[in-house]
Amino acid sequence: MTRNPDIQVRRVASLPADTDLTDTECNLPRGSKTVIIHFEQETYSLLMENADMFRSYIDTCYKEHPELFPDGMKNGYYLHGFTAPSVKQDGLRLRRIKLIDGGDVFNICPSFVMPYMTGLTDEVEKALFLRKFEVPYWALTYVFGHDDMYWERIENSIGRNSITGTTVGDGTNIPVNLVADEKKSRLNGDEINIAVTVGNECILGAAVCTERTADALEEGYGVFKEEAGNINPDYIPETVTTDGSDALRNAWKSLFSNITLVLCFLHSVLNIKKHCRRMEGVFTTIMEKVWYVYHADTKASFSQRVRRLKEWAVKTFSSGTVLKKILALCEKADEFKKAYDYPGAPRTTNMIDRVMNRQDRYLYNIQYYHGNFISAELNVRAWAILYNFYPYSPRACPIGKDWICAAERLNGFRYSDNWLENLLIASSMNGYRQ
C-alpha cells in the first residue's frame, strides 16, 4: 500500500484545457471557487452596497494581483448577486461574480473573515500563531474560547490549499533548484514517511507515504509536480539535492526525466566524522582537509583537491574504516561536481534539514499522528503552509530586510501586513490557477 485511494486531499491539479469535468469530479476543494482579496472591515459594507464602487475595487485588485483571480477574468465578468447572509457572522454576505468566458461563478471573500465564515481573522490569528510553538489545542481553548476541535479544524482546513500555489504568487517564480528528503513519523504506531520538497527556504511540497519505495515516493513527490504544474504548466526544475537514497533519486528521475540529481556533500562528511571523532590529533586535520575540498571555487579545483585528499588518506591510513569512508567520498566526486554547472543549486541538504528540525520538534510535541490517513495528510500540509507564512522573529530577520515570512522572502512582496491575512489572500481559489 502506498497511499489511500479514497483520500480526498489528493486533487487533480493539472488538467488539459479541453477536459470537461466538474469540481467534484476533479476532486478540487469547494474553496477553489472563492477569490480572497484584501478589504478593510470598516469600508466593506459601503462597497457591498454600491455596485460601481465594488466593481472598481475588484478591477484595481485584479490589475495589481491577477494571480488571485481565475484566468477567465481577462475576458471580462459581471456582478452576479450575493450569497445568503451568514448565520455565523451576523448576516455577513459575499458578492459573486460571473465570468463572461465560460460562465463560472466565483465568490469574492474579504480577508478579514476566515473561509466558510468560521471566524474573523483578528480573532483567530493570535491563537493560530501560537501553534508555531506547538501550544496544544486545549490551551488555546482555555485562553481564546471555543473548543479543541474548533482550533484543530481551523488549522487543518489550511491543508486543503495547494502548498505550491499558496506559497508562490507568480508561477514563473517557482524555484528551479530544489532539495528533497523524507521525514519519518508514525500514524497509529505504524511508520510513515513525509515526502518534503523545499526551495528558497520555503516548503513547496509535503505528502504522506506509508512506504519508502520508489513508487510510493514518486506518488508523494508527484503532489508537488501536480501543484507546480497547475500554476505554471511549463515548469521544469533544474536540480534537486538529495541525501543519496536510491528510492528518492529514482522517484525524482521518474517525475522529471531531465532533472540533475545533486548529491549532498554534508552527508559524506558526517559519515566520516562519525568514525573518526575519537581519533585525537587526527580528527581536526581530517575535517579541515575534507571541508577544504568542499570550498573549491571551480570544478577543476574541486577535482584536484579530491585527488590530493585521496593521496593523503592512502598515505596516512594504511587501512581501516576511516580510510574507506574518505575513499568513498572521493569516489562520489562526479556526483558532487554536478552542482558547479548550476550556480544556484544547493550543495548540501542544509536547507531542508532546517525545516525538518522544526518539523521533528512539532511531531514529537504532538506525539505523532493518531486518527486516519486523511487527517494526518491535512495536518502535514497545513503545517507546511503555516511554516511558510508564520512571521519571523524580529531579531532573526537580516539587517536591512523587511521580510515578515519565508513566503515574502521568496516572492518579494506581501499582500497584507497581517500574517494570517497575507496567507488567506495568497490561498485565493485554494492556490489553484487552472
User: Is residue 104 over pLDDT 80?
Assistant: yes
The Cα 387–Cα 385 span in angstroms is: 5
Give residue for cell 562528511: 269
Residue 28 has pLDDT above 60, yes or no: no
Confidence of residue 170 (pLDDT cuts 50, 70, 90): confident
Of 401, 416, 403, 404, nearest in space to 64 by CA: 416
Task: Write down the pLDDT at residue 143.
Answer: 97
Reply yes or no on whether the pLDDT at 312 is more than 50: yes
Q: What is the pLDDT of residues 56-86, one digit of tens each?
A: 999 999 999 999 999 899 999 999 999 999 9
Tell whether the model's pLDDT for residue 219 goes beyond 50. yes
Taken as a whole, the chain contains a residue count of: 434
CB 369 within 8 A of CB 379: yes
> Residue 20 — pLDDT band, cuts 50, 70, 90?
very low
Checking if the pLDDT of 278 tops 80, the result is no
Mean pLDDT of 254-283: 90
**pLDDT at position 12, please?**
33
CB of 359 within 8 A of CB of 382? no
pLDDT value at position 30?
55
Q: 61-65, 185-189, 270-274: lowest mean pLDDT where?
A: 270-274
Average pLDDT score over the chain: 90
Tens digits of per-residue pLDDT, 373-413?
999 999 999 999 999 999 998 877 665 567 889 999 999 99
Largest interatomic CA distance in the chain: 85
| DSSP letter for each residue of 338-386 | GGGG-TTS-SSSHHHHHHHHHHHHHHHHTTSB-S-HHHHHHHHHHHHHH
Whether the per-residue pLDDT at 15 is higher than 80: the answer is no
- The 3-state DSSP class for residue 16 equals coil
Burial 337-369 (b: 16+ CB within 10 A, else e): bbbbebeebbbbbebbbebbeebeebbeeeebb
* Of 185, 159, 131, the residue nearest 369 (C-alpha): 185
Grid cell digits, residue 430: 485554494
Domain ranges for the chain, please list them: 39-110, 265-341
Give buried/exposed letters for 254-286 (b at 16+ CB in 10 A, else e).
ebbeebbbbbbbbbbbeebeebbeeeeeeeeeb
pLDDT reading at 222 higher than 70: yes
Backbone φ, ψ for residue 199 (5° rounding): -150, 135
Binned at pLDDT 50, 70 and 90, residue 29 comes out as low
CA distance 27 to 29: 7
pLDDT band at 14 (very low <50, low <70, confident <90, very high): very low
Average pLDDT value for residue range 226-234: 94
Angle between helices 299-316 and 283-294 (to 10 degrees): 160
* Predicted pLDDT of residue 398: 63
Phi-psi sector, 354: left (phi>0), alpha (psi -120 to 50), beta: alpha
The pLDDT tens digits of the residues spanning 411-421 come to: 999 999 999 99
